[in-house]
Amino acid sequence: NTQEFPPGEAEHPDTRYMRQALGEAARALGRTSPNPPVGCLIVREGEVVGRGFHPQAGEPHAEVFALREAGERARGATAYVTLEPCSHFGRTPPCVGALIAAGVRRVVVAAEDPNPQVSGRGITELRAAGIEVEVGLLEAEATRQQAGFRSLVTRGRPHVVYKYAATLDGKVAARGEANGPVSGLEARARVMRWRNETDAIAVGAGTILTDDPLLTVRGVPGGRDPRPVIFDRRGRVPPEARALRAGGVLVTGPRTEAGAFEERGVTVVRAASLPDALRQLGALDLSTLLLEGGPTLASAFFEAGLIDEVRALIAPKLLGAGLGPLQGPERSMHAALNLHDVKVEPLGSDVLVSGWLST
Ligand code: AOF
Ligand code: ZN
């Protein structure tokens, strides 16, 4: 196993290169749906001779950009790819053929492609061509980076991240009031980066009515705004809501009148339930949904088992009475849901605690 390297020593070169390939992939996070973010490095005799990432659906795959840069130097080299190279003709020709034609000798893959048109076949075809293939290096990191794509392919719905900012006593807002910021500047800058990397941001009608947020990206070089998705089952949100610019999505009940929204270029999704709504958002190629509140909407997602990942920004302040990030029926502490792959990171004087609920 190439991942095991004596503790305290520098990383194994394979691991280092795969980490760089993941960094390449990350450059297009939020831009590739319904395709995955993928990165590729071509290394020959300890020298990186090519790098590439998949910029967006319809464009060439990561391997193609890396092979172009490497040119003749790809012969006999090792390719590090964050996703199993494709074996099918989609919008673009198969990467397996490109790797074989370039004379690559060894391919290191982070994770298999769950796409039924590929899944395993890419690896089999590379091996059949006499190429040495290793699979599973930094697999957990890669599958987490590809969570949106994997969710679309295997569940037909976006990967859902619940983000909230709470006080030290666990309150996200004072009851029924417009809310000032909970977090400090570093934490808010991090939220802007998350918005830049997600396909869509979801908020409920309550948040629109109390805060009328813009849900845009500010202060991120090269940033772009995600699609705002407003959940408003009962038709309470006015068409003038600032978040509902053209390209926005209104999720409402099966029979709510919504002509004024459609006239403004808003996509109206009529859903009978939350799972139904998420399937329809998946059909719009939204692979990642950053759920930004408020607690009523988040609780509905939580009770329906639709939250996959949590990012909690905890600020060192106390509010006293107020709303928690989740409501709903009481459960005993034994029945609390445990996050896994938990990370804790200080952000200024706030603390980011993040973790996963789904695998
Ligand atoms: C790779 N490298 O960089 C990506 C892959 O329609 P296409 O041709 O873009 O194919 C899309 C599928 O290819 C996508 O569903 C996934 O299975 C795979 N994505 N594969 O080898 C890449 N983006
Ligand atoms: Zn490909």
Q: What is the pTM of this model?
A: 0.94
Residues with active-site annotation: 63
Amino acid at 189: A
Residue 113 Cβ inside 6 Å of ligand 1? The answer reads: yes
List the beta bridge partners of residue 356: 309, 340
> Is ligand 1 within 6 A of the CB of residue 35?
yes
Distance CA 171, CA 76 (A): 58
Which pLDDT score, from 0 to 100, does residue 5 have? 60
| Cα 62 to middle of ligand 2, angstroms | 7
Burial class (CB in 10 A: 0-12, 13-18, 19+), 209: middle
Q: Which residues contact 55 (CB under 8 A, 6 or more apart)?
A: 28, 31, 32
Please report the pLDDT score of residue 293 as a whole number. Answer: 79
Minimal-distance CA residue to ligand 1 atom 13: 86
Atom number in ligand 1 closest to CA 86: 21
Point out the ligand 1 atom lying closest to the alpha carbon of residue 36: 23
DSSP string, 208-224: HHHH-------S-TT--
Which ligand 1 atom is at minimum distance from the Cα of 93? 8
Report the pLDDT value the prediction gives residue 1, as an integer from 0 to 100: 42
Task: Tell me whether residue 296 is annotated as binding.
Answer: yes
Cβ of residue 277 lying under 6 Å from some atom of ligand 1: no
Q: Is 120 in the pocket of ligand 1 (CB under 6 A)?
A: no
What are the E-state strand segments in 151-245?
159-167, 200-204, 227-231
Report the amino acid identity of residue 61: H
- CA 216 to centroid of ligand 1, rounded, Å: 29
Query: Which one of the ligands is nearest to 58 CA?
Result: 1
Residue 152 · residue 158 · CB < 8 Å: yes
Q: Is the CB of 118 under 6 A from ligand 1?
A: yes
Distance 221 CA to ligand 2 centre (A): 28
Strand order in the sheet with 249-252: 267-270, 249-252, 227-231, 200-204, 288-291, 159-167, 309-315, 350-356, 340-347
pLDDT tens by residue, the chain, 359 residues: 444 565 666 899 999 999 999 999 999 999 999 999 999 999 999 999 999 999 999 999 999 999 999 999 999 999 999 999 999 888 889 999 999 999 999 999 999 999 988 888 999 999 999 999 999 999 999 999 999 999 999 999 999 999 999 999 999 988 866 678 899 999 999 999 999 999 999 999 999 998 899 999 999 999 999 999 999 999 999 999 999 987 899 999 998 888 899 999 999 999 999 999 999 999 999 999 999 978 999 999 999 999 999 999 999 999 999 999 999 888 899 999 999 999 999 999 999 999 999 87
pLDDT score of 2 = 47
